[in-house]
Amino acid sequence: MILFLMMALQGAPTAAAPVPAWTAIMKPDSQNGKPTGQASAISTDGTSRLVIRCDRRTDDLVSLQFIPNPSFSPTTSRPVSIAVDGGNMQGANWDFLQGALIMSDDVIVTNLAVLIAGARHAIRVRVIDPTEKPIDMTFPAPASDAGIKQILQTCNYSFGVAPSSLPAPAPAP
């Protein structure tokens, strides 16, 4: 009887272990099959998510996303600031799309990705909500920079180097 019970327990489904913060999760794009992915962390109070995402539907695009729960009511762009390990806040206005605040400017994304990847203790995010109230969230630092670097590399970004939006020079005659 005990042997039967042990065999049944071994075959029983187990809950999947949670993915550690800032681990790259990859999958093919449903439209074109190109690899895409994201790395994220849940705030320490469990109410928000901070995401670094690679989308490759048309162009390679890396974005940072702040996803509050519950979502903000529809709004215009909002100020978002990020600091790591007690350092100075770095901020910009992020676009509001489909319940998330999104930053896709290559230079800002590159700088903040390096900042987040280098965090050793905590990442602090301050968002000014649609009622002009500041909301402060704390996110865990990554155990390593590997997940963030993988997301950037998937979208053909070099870690710490913003992609150039300048056209390639014309070939010499």
- Name, of 29-33, 68-72, 81-85, 131-135, the range with top average pLDDT: 81-85
Task: Calculate the CA 130 to chain-centre distance.
Answer: 22
Q: What are the residue boundaries of the structural domains of the chain, listed by start?
A: 19-154
Mean of pLDDT values over 147-153:
94
The confidence score (pLDDT) of residue 24 equals 92
String of DSSP letters for 3-66: HHHHHHHHHS--PPPPPPTT--EEEE-TTT--EEEEEEEE-TTSSEEEEEEEE-SSS-EEEEEE
pTM of the model: 0.82
Beta bridge partners of 13: none
Class of the domain covering 19-154: mainly beta
* pLDDT tens digits, 16-51: 667 788 999 999 888 888 888 999 999 999 999 999
Smallest CA-to-CA distance from 163 within 121, 116, 113 is with: 113
Mean of pLDDT values over 161-169:
66
